[in-house]
Amino acid sequence: MPQGKSGGKSGGISGGKTANISVGKFLTFEGGEGAGKSTQIKRLAAALETSGLEVTATREPGGSPGAETIRGLLLDPAAEWDAPTEALLHFAARADHYTTRISPALRAGNWVICDRFADSTRAYQGYGLGLPMAAIETLYEVALGDFIPDLTIILDVPVEVGMARMNARDGGPDRYEQMDFAFHERLRQGFLDIARREPARCAVIDADTDIDTVTERIFDCVSQRLGVTLSL
């Protein structure tokens, strides 16, 4: 079960939800652009289901009706949010996502896999845009109390590799994809720094190789850390 409040917010303005009845696990995937999160999440979800587990795959920003509405605001190309406003919107979305989707799924025993979570706010709004980490941690406490993922997988690729993969995709670049190399390097180093600070929660996977090898590395990591047997 997730460490900390184990499926119930015990801190923040929503304090009091301390019931420790979760039996599911909460896994998050993080990384910069072009790291391959979506493909790897699909593969992991399928393998966990094959092993007999119920899986909920979700994403941020978004993942619940309210949070998807906020995602629309965040990703609106016409919007010019400053870093504090962005962080507030991400945590508002996250609080709703947690309350209405993540927590109920964990309590039902599901393994929840989330494409991005709070480490993305630390990386993008903190390391990337310069918002003080203390402010981000305050918002975390308000939105989530002491709830933290059981495992965070950080897919690491050199910036030039991620950017090349991104440019090969259909569709125009979004706001962050347009940012310069230095911004993306701050993101990468930010994610690596988060992993160094929280080694029990985070695992860095070198994703600068073919898709099958990355999947193998992820399955090994999930098996070792969470005690399930997964096969390709």
Q: What single DSSP character describes residue 78?
A: T
The single residue among 31, 61, 63, 190 that binds ligand ATM, judged by CB under 6 A, is 61
Tell me which stretch binds ligand ATM (CB under 6 A): 132-140, 173-181, 200-208, 210-218: 173-181
* 116/186 with CB nearer ligand ATM: 116
Residue number of the CB closest to ligand ATM reads 124
| Nearest Cα to Cα of residue 218 among 156, 159, 149 | 156
Q: Which amino acid is at 50?
A: T
- Indicate the SS3 state at residue 45: helix
Least Å from the CB of residue 21 to ligand ATM: 27
120 touches ligand ATM (CB under 6 A): yes
Among positions 177, 185, 193, 208, the unique one binding ligand ATM when judged by CB under 6 A: 177
Q: Which is nearer to ligand ATM, 180 or 232 (CB)?
A: 180
Q: Does 124 bind ligand ATM (CB under 6 A)?
A: yes
Query: Is residue 54 close enough to count as binding ligand ATM by CB under 6 A?
Result: no
Q: How far apart are CA 133 and CA 232, in angstroms?
A: 38
User: Residue 141 is encoded by which pair of tokens?
Assistant: 């406490």
Distance CA 22, CA 44 (A): 21
Our CB check for ligand ATM shows the closer of 44 and 230 to be 44
Looking only at residues 62 through 101 of this chain, which bind ligand ATM when binding is defined by CB under 6 A?
90
Task: Extract the tokens encoding 17.
Answer: 């939800």
With CB under 6 A as the contact rule, which of the stretches 2-10, 132-140, 154-162, 174-182 interacts with ligand ATM? 174-182
Per rule CB under 6 A, is residue 33 in the interface with ligand ATM?
Answer: yes
Strands (E), the chain: 26-31, 55-59, 111-115, 151-156, 202-206
Minimum distance of ligand ATM from residue 90's CB (angstroms): 4
Are 15 and 3 within 8 A, CB to CB?
no
Question: Exposed, middle or buried by CB within 10 Å (0-12, 13-18, 19+), for 205?
Answer: buried
Q: Does 60 bind ligand ATM (CB under 6 A)?
A: yes
Max CA separation in the chain (angstroms): 48
Residues that bind ligand ATM (CB under 6 A): 33, 60-61, 90, 116, 120-121, 124-125, 174, 176-177
